[in-house]
Amino acid sequence: MPNRPRPLVAGNWKMNGASASLQELMAIGQGFMSGLDAETEALLCVPATLLSRASEILSRTPIRSGGQDCHWQQSGPHTGDISAEMLKDAGASHVIVGHSERRTDHGEDDALVAAKVAAALRHGLTPILCVGEGLDVREAGRHVEHTLAQVDAALDGVSTDDAAGIVIAYEPVWAIGTGKVATPDDAQEVCGAIRRRLRALYDAAVADRVRILYGGSVNAKNVGELMAQPDVDGGLVGGASLDADGFAALCKNAG
């Protein structure tokens, strides 16, 4: 069995946080400086208004910073949007693309998500590609088929070299912010299917290197059981990443 990738816990602050929140960010960074969570790689995707300052704070810690979305073009008349180049300039190493809230709130389809993956790669950012099904798809038993179609579309045209560095986050939409969580077996079923699809699209080396995260009401209590699954390499975390003590505990239990 291949060696598993180093666990990754990616915190997504969503539309939360102002300048005062940087104190919490400093506390999270100090916790990692203690070496408590050395076995786990951590990333915080903060609002764009905080990204530059957050990147500066986190540069003195093992934690990296990321953006929550990017435009598919480098520049132009796109009022209110932020390009991958701008995120990189602000200190980001990663960017979330295709999050279910973007797909729902902004009508983003698979083609647009694929364009954002390509934009992130062009500018040296690691895309965290979000895929997953709604409750109707899950109840119809089409969750694996649906999720793999999203993976196929987003990776269309992505080279083998680039694919190896992408992170994929499986997030069943019905479990995001609801307090519901897919069972470890549910998470493994889809994450394992994604790994097999990567092997078919590319090769075993790529499939083994790509980190596949689970996202959806992940917390310090359930992350260990989820991470015990052979194809779950970490978590995409929402509310639990806003609190320094809670995020540190989650990262420790993921290691």
* Residues carrying an active site annotation: 99, 171
Length of the chain in terms of residues written: 255
- The values of phi and psi at residue 53, to 5°, are -70, -40
| Angle in degrees, 0-180, between the axes of helices 48-58 and 22-33, rounded to the nearest 10 | 30
Three-state secondary structure of the chain: CCCCCCCEEEEECCCCCCHHHHHHHHHHHHHHHCCCCCCCEEEEECCHHHHHHHHHHHCCCCCEEEECCCECCCCCCCCCCCEHHHHHHCCCCEEEECCHHHHHHCCCCHHHHHHHHHHHHHCCCEEEEEECCCHHHHHCCCHHHHHHHHHHHHCCCCCHHHHCCCEEEECCHHHCCCCCCCCHHHHHHHHHHHHHHHHHHCCHHHHHHCEEEEECCCCCCCHHHHHCCCCCCEEEECHHHCCHHHHHHHHHHHC
